[in-house]
């Protein structure tokens, strides 16, 4: 009997299905793993933005985590929206006892600019959550929020990575998808993966598609899935970059705003 690698996502729900828990589970399935979830918050969310968010109690988060980990077990964990200092500290405490790879996506704002992390939780992310990470995957806005480092061009990404690594993750993946510099052409989406010694620049074509809701969740979940399958961190990041690039290329319109990336693009043999 084939039992797929087991991956746990600890994140919020996106009722529109493009990001959050929904994106995580779709990605994990597409990459041949069994996804499981710990729900941290419920959002009323669609292609236009987040209309409401309701955080779950810490005891509910703790109970879900223990229920899955103690019985089924996990081979990698990914975190997303944690919203408050209490939830950040609760999840950090739970992760500290695990001996599996952990991917921390320090979600700060939604694709539409809606705040998903309380300002009072930033210090807990820095001091409690990031030290548990095998890989931390901040975008440029989250780097600025956590470290004060503002990335204007590719060369600044090294400084950003160093500032994130100072908080304790083993690897930092600085996502440069919002960076339009690229030596003036802006034709590539560039990420930097480093542990402070090794450096891997991950480059992919930049697709002219505005329907990119869920890219951060998808990338972090893809890394976790690959780590659960036994990849090294650089291997996992490169495979995840390939997967999310295809998902962005196949992103589609939903509703009246920004649609999601297509998590199932490989299942149909596209690209």
16 belongs to the catalytic site: no
| Rounded-to-5 percentages of helix, strand, coil across the chain | 40, 25, 35
Q: Helix crossing, 215-228 with 20-30: angle to 10°?
A: 40
Q: What is the DSSP letter of 21?
A: H
Give the torsion sign (CA, 182, 183, 187, 188). negative
Instruction: State pLDDT tens for residues 7-47.
Output: 999 999 999 999 999 999 999 999 999 999 999 999 999 99
C-alpha separations of 124 from 48, 53, 167, 192 in Å: 30, 20, 11, 24
216 belongs to the catalytic site: yes
> Does the structure show a pLDDT above 70 at 230?
yes
Instruction: State pLDDT tens for residues 175-220.
Output: 987 676 444 345 788 999 999 999 999 999 888 899 989 999 999 9
State the catalytic residue, choosing from 90, 147, 194, 212: 212
215 belongs to the catalytic site: yes
- Give the pair of three-digit tokens for residue 185: 């052409």
Q: How far apart are CA 28 and CA 218, in angstroms?
A: 9
* Closest by Cα among 141, 147, 142, 139 to 164: 147
Question: Is residue 192 within 8 Å of 156, Cβ to Cβ?
Answer: no
Instruction: State pLDDT tens for residues 88-139.
Output: 999 999 999 999 999 999 987 655 555 667 777 899 999 999 999 999 999 9
Q: Helix crossing, 85-95 with 58-71: angle to 10°?
A: 20
214 belongs to the catalytic site: yes
C-alpha separations of 266 from 14, 39, 58, 200, 258 in Å: 22, 27, 36, 25, 22
182 belongs to the catalytic site: no
Q: What is the pTM for the complete model shown?
A: 0.94
Q: What is the DSSP letter of 91?
A: H
- Give the pair of three-digit tokens for residue 234: 């650089």
């Amino acid at each position: 009997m084939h039992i797929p690698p087991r991956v746990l996502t600890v994140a919020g729900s996106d009722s529109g299905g493009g990001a959050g828990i929904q994106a995580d589970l779709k990605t994990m399935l597409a990459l041949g793993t069994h996804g499981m979830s710990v729900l941290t918050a419920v959002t009323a969310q669609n292609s236009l933005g987040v209309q409401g968010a309701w955080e779950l109690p810490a005891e509910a988060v703790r109970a879900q985590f223990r229920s899955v980990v103690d019985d089924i077990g996990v081979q990698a964990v990914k975190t997303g929206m944690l919203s408050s200092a209490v939830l950040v500290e609760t999840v950090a405490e739970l992760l500290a006892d695990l001996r599996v790879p952990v991917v921390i996506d320090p979600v700060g704002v939604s694709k539409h600019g809606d705040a998903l992390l309380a300002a009072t939780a930033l210090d807990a992310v820095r001091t409690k959550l990031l030290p548990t990470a095998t890989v931390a995957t901040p975008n440029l806005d989250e780097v600025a929020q956590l470290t004060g480092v503002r990335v204007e061009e590719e060369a600044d990404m090294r400084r950003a990575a160093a500032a994130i690594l100072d908080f304790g993750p083993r690897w930092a993946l600085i996502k440069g998808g919002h960076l339009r510099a690229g030596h003036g052409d802006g034709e590539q989406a560039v990420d930097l993966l480093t542990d402070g010694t090794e450096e891997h620049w991950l480059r992919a074509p930049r697709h002219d598609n505005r329907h990119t809701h869920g890219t951060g969740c998808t990338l972090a979940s893809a890394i976790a899935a690959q780590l659960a399958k036994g990849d090294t961190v650089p291997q996992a990041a490169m495979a995840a970059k390939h997967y999310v690039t295809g998902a962005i290329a196949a992103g589609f319109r939903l509703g009246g705003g920004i649609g999601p990336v297509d998590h199932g693009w490989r299942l149909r043999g596209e690209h």
